[in-house]
Amino acid sequence: MTTTGTPVIGPQHPDRPTSAEPVAVGSLCTGIAGLDLGAAAALGGARLAWVADNDPDIARFLDARFPQVPNLGDLAEVAWRRVEPVDIIAAGFPCEDISISGRGAGIEEGTRSGTWTHVMDAVRLLRPRLLIVENVAALRWRWRGAGLSRLLCDLARLGYDARWHCLRARDVGAPHTRERLFLAAHPRGARRGPGPVPGGRAQTPRQAGGPARRDPARGRDQPRGHDLHPQLRSGCATADHSCSPGPERGGARARCSLSEPGGWGSQEEAIRRWEQVTGRPVPCPLEPGRRGGRRLSARFTEWLMGFEEGWVTDPALGLSREAHLRALGRAVVPQQARAVLDLLTRHGQVPS
């Protein structure tokens, strides 16, 4: 199922036979690929066969990060019989009509969250060995759980068994809550399927990046990070401290009062722990605004979400600050996705 020229996200594990092909992943509602990077990390490497996102800014991002990977665009317009079959489909479909901050329209055709119907079209025709789904935790309790029940029933009709688990970003060390529901489904009765390399250790999300290792502005590889999944107390990093951001040189921190020991107050432990997990220092949370004031830094948000420095905010990508924040706000924390898929795999809840 290998297609020449398409990238492997995440290096193949040393224990994988050299003749073994990485599993092929198709990504729906791709965004900035956080779910895909996390899945690749849990699986010890994967080949990104195709993506699908019709947001113009996201399409530009995907074209820059994965230039050889086709973007299927609008899911409503995809002719699935003509699409390359894949081992895994990953889908973080829109949450606007499910989230407590949304309209509450539910998973119905014609709504943003109704994109789920197109995900089911893909599963019905491509029959992947594994489906990975991500959405807000409200899916399990809003409308008395009707949203999650809808997903499980739809999958059952297609002959798929499914297990789900909710995990907070802070459970993998992030300094914010961001609870999300992850679901893994496979054909009923399937005994073997995509999973971590037997006897091996899955790669970290920072190692799962294939193209993420490349800095488009500098044309060089980024440093690798640490493999830590610490637990920590509930906390949310705040950005209301006074700071004076300055230019960074040679990877040095911006001049920011919060960089000093104890500068984060009650959030100090959470922030420093996430620095260890991500392998890089916290950027200053504020930057100069257009009218002389201060505003939230997209680079800080990128760090909070666990992505490589510049993964979204690199100027070479040509995206606006508004596009940065919108994309990051809809993204999946890669470390969170990896951790829950590790958990489901370890307990035999996905084929391995």
Calculate the CA 256 to chain-centre distance: 29
Residue type, position 94, single letter: P
DSSP string, 217-268: TTTEEPPP----------------S--------TTPPPS-GGGSTTTTGGGH
C-alpha of 187 from chain center: 24
If DSSP codes are grouped into helix, strand and coil, which group holds residue 162?
strand
Residue 96 buriedness (CB in 10 A; 0-12 / 13-18 / 19+): middle
CA distances from residue 136 to 179, 234, 246 in whole angstroms, order as listed: 7, 18, 36
Find the catalytic residue in 29, 95, 256, 284.
95
- 236 catalytic, yes or no? no
Please state, in angstroms and rounded to a whole number, the distance separating the CA atoms of residues 25 and 90.
Answer: 7
Q: Of 79, 101, 319, 352, which is closest to residue 216 (Cα–Cα)?
A: 319
Q: Are 253 and 303 in contact (CB under 8 A)?
A: no
Catalytic residues: 95
